[in-house]
Structure 1
């Protein structure tokens, strides 16, 4: 992301946003940067998406508007709404790796929750919130902001309300304005080219939430992508890739990120990456970098050595 992009208010792609927020977080020493930004974010800056949602008649209608038009605000973000048995809001990315993203997804979830609270005129409390990425330590702030317990290292990024929440009426119900905003959103998505997600990114985003559960196998990933294991292997081979290569490189990238976190011990990182034994993680990390996890932390000047 360049200063020129910011000065000219050009659209910045999602991958660049994620990298930028990571750098700003480290520079500012704010490990919860996404929440910090989301607390003071002016919801009107969502543009037509805000007004399309706020002018709907009920919360469920507003969420359906957000589901359909999320890419008007973010070209890589996908939102899926399910109303049975409860009101589930699922978040995902297409064409953008999910595994190194913490700040933007936390920002997105809190902003959407704030939007729901504002348009229904009450402090909605979710039944639960879950994130794919890892967090530990003091979680009181995020629990207070979201109003419920928060699960990390989950299978999916999700926000869940009681089923009755979808039927809550909105104070800004305006059929004429809603039709106008919906048409503007339809026009926007009809002229905006969508980037096809690469197979590698699809595999990475499917593998990431499976790692802490030691379920990141080619068979499981293929099933989640609606493919046979043989078809997945063939399609990866067409791109000169293999499942083992993608898994290994993803683990390496996540290991480096996790070693930047002071409180994470090597044994915890091994578990987060799906290794059965800490020694297996140490062996793999030495293969990746030529150093043990503790030596790597020392070379980076990163906190205390991994234990």
Structure 2
């Protein structure tokens, strides 16, 4: 299936073209994009057609177009993923959601969050070659990402450094004014470097119920989008069946009309396994629930599909090196309650 992006991302381009007095309808059609898709919040455009659109903008409007388009980002640009982002309990949790579900917005790029001692690095890298993307599309991605981050950490926040893969151009000063931190030009990815405390700080605006509800909307859309992506379908079934107490590999396979052995084989082809997906989901939800503080530990164990609280406690100690009670009593986690 051709790589694609949400049409709502293209809406930023439409609005900026219109603001400059240009015929957005004609420009979209010449790029092969149906403007009527902009009214469908989960419609998609091909990456190739979007790059044609960005290249036209670059050639006909000036280097500042991407920065100006990126400033138009709002949470609804990313549909339910934007709302899940706003309700995240920390910037780290929000960025993790992008690494897991960013392909809902754009399946032509991959997202990665990595820990580097006292710092974290978030990368956006094209599946093919980021250097082939037009500079305005890269600039829009950087500006939109910084706007997303500041919605969580405050308008005055600035990261340590931003890496921009294209060479400096006439819009570089404007881009620097937006990110308000040093920019390194070159490389093969958009990267943002953060101080660890900024990533891990518990946010008072976090709402576990809302973030998880919107996350499941994203998962459902991903499942509909890529029926061949068994990993997404298994993740969705794990979430559905987790509180039932019958979270077994056979039950998941049966729900997907597969034999256990067939599911195992297909997941292996996608580089994962049922056990890995279940472990990752439980670990992340456990951390989210404990940081939120609204649920008792016994309730969390039930929601994660553990028949006994002791089994959950043993798993949590394996993940984090301490018990759920000790984790919840840490000052950074306790201040939310």
TM-score, scaled relative to structure 2: 0.53
CA distance in 2, matches of 1:162, 1:4: 40
1:25/1:54 Cα in 2 relative to 1: closer, same or farther (>3 Å)?
same
Structure-2 residue corresponding to 1:6: 35
CA distance in 1, matches of 2:130, 2:81: 24
How far apart are 1:132 and its partner, in Å? 2.0
Residue 68 (structure 2) pairs with residue 36 (structure 1): yes
Equivalent in the alignment of 1:21: 54
Runs of 4+ aligned structure 1 residues displaced above 4 Å come to: none
CA offset at residue 106 of structure 1?
A: 1.6
Structure 1 contact 95–195 (Cα < 8 Å) conserved:
no
Q: Report the equivalent of 2:21.
A: none
What is the CA-CA distance between 1:119 and the residue it aligns to? 1.7
The answer to whether the 8 Å contact 1:52/1:182 transfers is yes
Contact 1:75/1:194 (CA < 8 Å) preserved in 2? no
User: What are the equivalent positions in structure 2 for 1:1-307 lying under 5 Å apart?
Assistant: 2=29, 5-9=34-38, 10-28=43-61, 30-85=62-117, 86-95=119-128, 98-136=131-169, 139-193=172-226
CA RMSD after TM alignment: 2.4
3-state secondary structure, aligned to 1:41: coil
Per-residue Cα deviation, 1:225-272 (whole angstroms, up to 9, x for no partner): xxxxxxxxxxxxxxxxxxxxxxxxxxxxxxxxxxxxxxxxxxxxxxxx
Spell out, residue by residue over 1:186-243, the C-alpha distance to the aligned partner (whole angstroms, 9 max, x if none): 22222222999xxxxxxxxxxxxxxxxxxxxxxxxxxxxxxxxxxxxxxxxxxxxxxx
Tell me by how many angstroms 1:109 deviates. Answer: 1.6
Contact 2:64 2:171 in 1 (8 A): no
The answer to whether the 8 Å contact 1:132/1:157 transfers is yes
Q: Provide the TM-score with structure 1 as the length reference.
A: 0.58
Instruction: Mark the CA change 1:130 to 1:95 in structure 2 (over 3 Å): closer, same or farther.
Output: closer
Compared CA separation, residues 148 and 186, structure 1 to 2 (3 A): same
Unaligned stretches of 5+ residues in structure 2:
1-27, 230-337
Aligned residues of 1:64 and 1:81 also touching (Cα < 8 A) = yes
Larger CA deviation: 177-186 vs 119-128: 119-128
Counterpart CA distance in 1 for 2:116 and 2:199 is 11
3-state SS, counterpart of residue 34 of structure 2:
helix
Aligned mates of 1:116, 1:162 — CA distance in 2:
13
Change (3 A) 1:156 1:95: closer
1:155 and 1:71 map into 2 onto residues whose CA distance is: 19
